[in-house]
Amino acid sequence: MSPSAIAADIDAWQREAELALNRREFERAHELCLRILAAEPAHAHALFLLAMIAAEHGNFGKALEVVDRALAIDATRADYFAQRGRCLVALRRPREAFESAQRALALGPRDALTLDTIGVVLTRAGAHAEALAPFRRAVERDPGKPAYHYNLGAAEQFVGDFRRAADAYRRALALDPKHYRAWSALAQVAKAPFSAAEVAEIERQLAAEPTEDAELHLSHALAKQLEDLGRYAEAFRYLERGKRRKRAARAQPSAAHEALFAAATRTAPLAAEHSRTELHECRGFDSAEPIFIVGMPRTGTTLVERILSNHPAVFAAGELTNFSLVLKRATGTPSNRVLDAETLDAAVRVDARALGAAYVDSTRPRTGHTPRFIDKMPLNFFYSALIHRALPNARIICLRRNALDACLSNYRQLFATTFSYYDYSFDLLDTGRYYVLFDALARVWRESIPSNYCEVRYEGVVEHTEREARRLIDFCGLDWDPRCLAFEENAAPVATASSVQVRQPIYRTAIERWRKYEHEIEPLRRFLSDAGLL
């Protein structure tokens, strides 16, 4: 067979393999890729398609290996680098994912799928402002995909353009009225945004036996609409409806959380080891860059982040999973969860200095351009002693809030359903139990961690903003800057549930919000009172 005939066959096999992959006919696509590679072993696109098949089956390690082989042959393909970033995100390697997405963007991609993938990778790596341009270009290239509009809406929301975010969510819903995530997202970026016809559409979908996740999102959307209208009892009933099936599917979530809090408590003695300079592994890494803001979600962590990051010496890096990931790698525990009792117990064997250095390095290149950076991952609360051991010069700020308001706010929040660490929020009393555990561990940290651990109350920040802001700036070792009081002018992206609220001047309406639901949360009030927290 002539070379031209072979080339024609390879082209035909490639087109057929791509079609098979798009139809999710993976065996056929795999067979065709192997046929191409038998004829041309260095065929980059056949390797790329094999990598995509591996990724579709959740084997991201293998997918990364094969896509790297494709890139060794052809490093000019933006789609290869974009999908490489996707694999790295799945493998929890955010720094490398960010760099791969940047490489993809530099190659000037034009197809919508690659642009959207780059945006998703950048978002997962915490680079929300950088993700905006590729998401916008993806929508321009292919305006018929609801997912592209939804992703753009989320990016617009994170950077604070709520009008554009609402427009993007509505375009997603116009293309697919059953895009339930767009309904709940739209409810968050505008006050009572739904018309009577839209409310009827959501209720129609709720009556049509939706999936658990759809029911959760749709119910949250209506709960927010009703709360905005002051119809609190009705709003609470929708919250209960949306969460009921999710809670029923979770087997004893409180037991899992109790084990995690107990393991975190066992790490408390490690907090004192930073002073044992005779042991190299106990000295920790000297960097004073990190400021960790921790605590239960919805307790003011984002507000404090915005105050501090409006200081010119401070960069808000977002809610980073980096510390948990470097600790997991350092312990080498075999469990399939990053944060668990086994990993916390194994932390005693970890070289503290190496752990701290690995953490700081993992935050690059997004950090390092200011004297301080903020890591606002609430779950770092579990690692407070380990953070202090690994980074003895870092600052840890823990937010506290009225117990009833904290529990209600967590219950009202729609957390990522795939993130089991927040599954307590599917039940009001489970949320109360979690708060009791949190409060007990906070007492442990107050007693075991010395001067670089600071508690701040949300109510205090709201009522005495300048006083608390000055205290926190001083705690972080910085000179006072009056811009810290104009936190609502902070242009940095916010990718948390508070993305709308923190763009506003300080407000007091969230204090004692529980009184609006006083009848509905009476069992929680009794529980917390019996626990001595009221």
Is-contact 184 218, C-beta < 8 A?
Answer: yes
pLDDT at 355 over 70: yes
Q: Residue 501 — very low, low, confident or very high, per pLDDT cuts 50/70/90?
A: low
pTM over 0.75: yes
pLDDT at 504 over 80: no
pLDDT at 278 over 60: no
Task: Locate 529 and state its tokens.
Answer: 């009172």
Residues in the chain: 534
Helix extents (H) in 208-362: 212-228, 232-248, 253-266, 301-309, 322-331, 341-346, 352-362
SS3 state at 373? strand
pLDDT at 122 over 90: yes
State the Cα angle at 149 between 413 and 319, rounded to 5°.
Answer: 40
58-95 pLDDT, tens digit each: 999 999 999 999 999 999 999 999 999 999 999 989 99
Amino acid at residue number 15:
R
SS3 state at 111? coil
Amino acid at residue number 140:
E
pLDDT at 277 over 60: no
Cα within 13 Å of Cα(161), Cβ side: 14
* Rounded-to-integer distance, Cα 250 and Cα 107, Å: 45
- The pLDDT score that the predictor gives to residue 1 is 55
- The pLDDT score that the predictor gives to residue 7 is 74
pLDDT at 312 over 70: yes
Residue bearing the bigger pLDDT, 277 or 348: 348
* Rounded-to-integer distance, Cα 310 and Cα 410, Å: 26
SS3 state at 142? coil
- The pLDDT score that the predictor gives to residue 279 is 46
- The pLDDT score that the predictor gives to residue 505 is 59
* Rounded-to-integer distance, Cα 507 and Cα 501, Å: 9
Which of 276, 521, 236, 243 is CA-nearest to residue 388? 276
Q: Residue 495 — very low, low, confident or very high, per pLDDT cuts 50/70/90?
A: low
Which of 437, 439, 435 is CA-nearest to residue 425? 435
Average pLDDT value for the chain: 92
Which of 205, 215, 294 is CA-nearest to residue 248? 215
* Rounded-to-integer distance, Cα 197 and Cα 411, Å: 28
Kindly compute the dihedral angle of the four CA atoms of residues 433, 436, 440, 445, in this order, to the nearest 10 degrees: 90
**What Cα–Cα distance (Å) separates residue 126 from each residue in 104, 114, 249, 367?**
17, 18, 31, 11
Mean pLDDT of 419-428: 91
* Rounded-to-integer distance, Cα 500 and Cα 379, Å: 22
- Token pair 């086994």 in the structure block, residue: 342
β-bridge pairing 314-316 and 372-375: parallel
Is-contact 83 48, C-beta < 8 A?
Answer: yes
Q: Which domains does the chain have, with CATH numbers?
A: 253-530 (3.40.50.300)
Q: Work out the percent of the chain whose per-residue pLDDT is above 70.
A: 93
- The pLDDT score that the predictor gives to residue 488 is 74
Which of 189, 187, 167, 170 is CA-nearest to residue 179? 170
- The pLDDT score that the predictor gives to residue 492 is 61
Is-contact 269 448, C-beta < 8 A?
Answer: yes
Mean pLDDT of 465-481: 96
126-151 pLDDT, tens digit each: 899 999 999 999 999 999 999 999 99
